[in-house]
Amino acid sequence: MRAYILRRLAQAVVVVWAVTTIMFVMFRVMPADPTAVLMERGMTDAARETLIAQWGLSGSLWDQYLRYMGNLLRGDFGSSFFYRKPVWEVLWPLIGNTLWIAVPGLLLGAFAGAALGMLVGWSKRGGKIERGGIFLATIIRGAPSFVIGIALLTVFSSTLGWFPGFGMGDPGPTQGFARYLTLDFLHHLALPLIAVIIYFLPENLLLMRSGVVENRTEDYIELVRAKGVPSSRVAWHAARNSLLPLITWLFPALAETIAGIVVIEIVFSWPGVGRELVLAVTRQDYPLAQAAFFLLAVMIVLANLAADLTYGKLDPRVVYK
Partner 1 sequence: MKHSIRSWRAMALLPMSIALMTGTAHAQALGEPVPELQIAYYASDMGPMYEQSARVMSEEWAKLGLSFQLQPVQFSAFISNIMVGGGLEDMAVFTVGADPDRVDPTYWLYDLGACGARRNGAKWCDEEFTALATAQRSQVDQAQRLETVYAAQQRFYDQAPWWPATNTVYGILWNSDKWENVTSPAPVAAHEGLVDPWLSAVPKTDDRILDWAYLEDVTTYNPLAEEGAVGWLRFVYDTFAKNNAQGETVPWAAESWEFTDPQTVRIVLRDGMTFHDGKPVTAADAAFTINMVVEAQPPAMSSRIANLESAEVIDERTFEVKLKTSDAAFVTTVLTYLFILPEHLWADYEGDVTARDVIADGVAIGSGPFKFKTWRMNEVHELDTNTAHFNAPQYDGLRRLALGQADAIRSAMLSGAADIATTVLPVAAMSDLAVQEASLDFLEIPSHGSLLVWLNNEKAPFTDLAFREALRLATNKQRAAIEGWLGFAVPAGEGSVPTQLGMWHNSDLAPIPFDIDAARATLEAAGYGWDAQGRLHYPPN
| Contact call for residues 212 and 121 (beta carbons, < 8 A) | yes
40 versus 219: smaller Cβ distance to partner 1: 40
Give the 3-state secondary structure of residue 282: helix
DSSP letter at 126? T
Give the number of residues in contact with partner 1, rule: CB under 8 A: 55
Residues 281-285: contacts with CB under 8 Å, at least 24 apart: 283/34, 283/81, 283/82, 284/27, 284/30, 284/32, 284/33, 284/34, 284/36, 284/81, 285/34, 285/80, 285/81, 285/82
**Does 156 participate in binding partner 1 (rule CB under 8 A)?**
no
| Contact call for residues 290 and 56 (beta carbons, < 8 A) | no
**Does 165 participate in binding partner 1 (rule CB under 8 A)?**
yes
**Does 187 participate in binding partner 1 (rule CB under 8 A)?**
no
**Which residues contact residue 297 at a Cβ distance below 8 angstroms, ignoring those fewer than 6 apart?**
15, 16, 19, 20
Q: Which listed residue (2, 3, 29, 46) binds partner 1 by CB under 8 A?
A: 46
Q: Which range touches partner 1 (CB under 8 A), out of 14-22, 49-57, 250-258, 294-302? A: 49-57
Instruction: Show the binding pattern over residues 239-268: x = contacts partner 1 (CB under 8 A), - = does not.
Output: ---------------------------xxx
**Does 271 participate in binding partner 1 (rule CB under 8 A)?**
yes
**Does 161 participate in binding partner 1 (rule CB under 8 A)?**
yes
**Does 111 participate in binding partner 1 (rule CB under 8 A)?**
no
Q: Which listed residue (8, 48, 67, 131) binds partner 1 by CB under 8 A?
A: 48
Instruction: Show the binding pattern over residues 68-107: x = contacts partner 1 (CB under 8 A), - = does not.
Output: -------------xxxxx----x--xx-------------
Q: How far is the CB of 33 from partner 1 (least distance, A)?
A: 4
Give the 3-state secondary structure of residue 59: coil
Q: Which of 240, 209, 266, 297 is nearest to 21 (CA)?
A: 297
Whole-angstrom distance, CA of residue 105 vs CA of residue 109: 6
**Does 56 participate in binding partner 1 (rule CB under 8 A)?**
no
Q: How far is the CB of 156 from partner 1 (least distance, A)?
A: 11
Whole-angstrom distance, CA of residue 264 vs CA of residue 277: 13
Q: Which of 301, 297, 302, 200 is nearest to 257 (CA)?
A: 200
**Which residues contact residue 79 at a Cβ distance below 8 angstroms, ignoring those fewer than 6 apart?**
55, 85, 86, 87, 287
**Does 155 participate in binding partner 1 (rule CB under 8 A)?**
no
Q: Which listed residue (12, 15, 16, 51) binds partner 1 by CB under 8 A?
A: 51
Q: Which listed residue (109, 133, 164, 192) binds partner 1 by CB under 8 A?
A: 164
Q: Which listed residue (209, 216, 237, 275) binds partner 1 by CB under 8 A?
A: 275
Q: Kindly list the residues in this chain that would bind partner 1 in the complex (CB under 8 A).
A: 31-48, 50-51, 54, 81-85, 90, 93-94, 150, 153, 157-158, 161, 164-171, 173, 175, 266-269, 271, 275-276, 279, 282-284
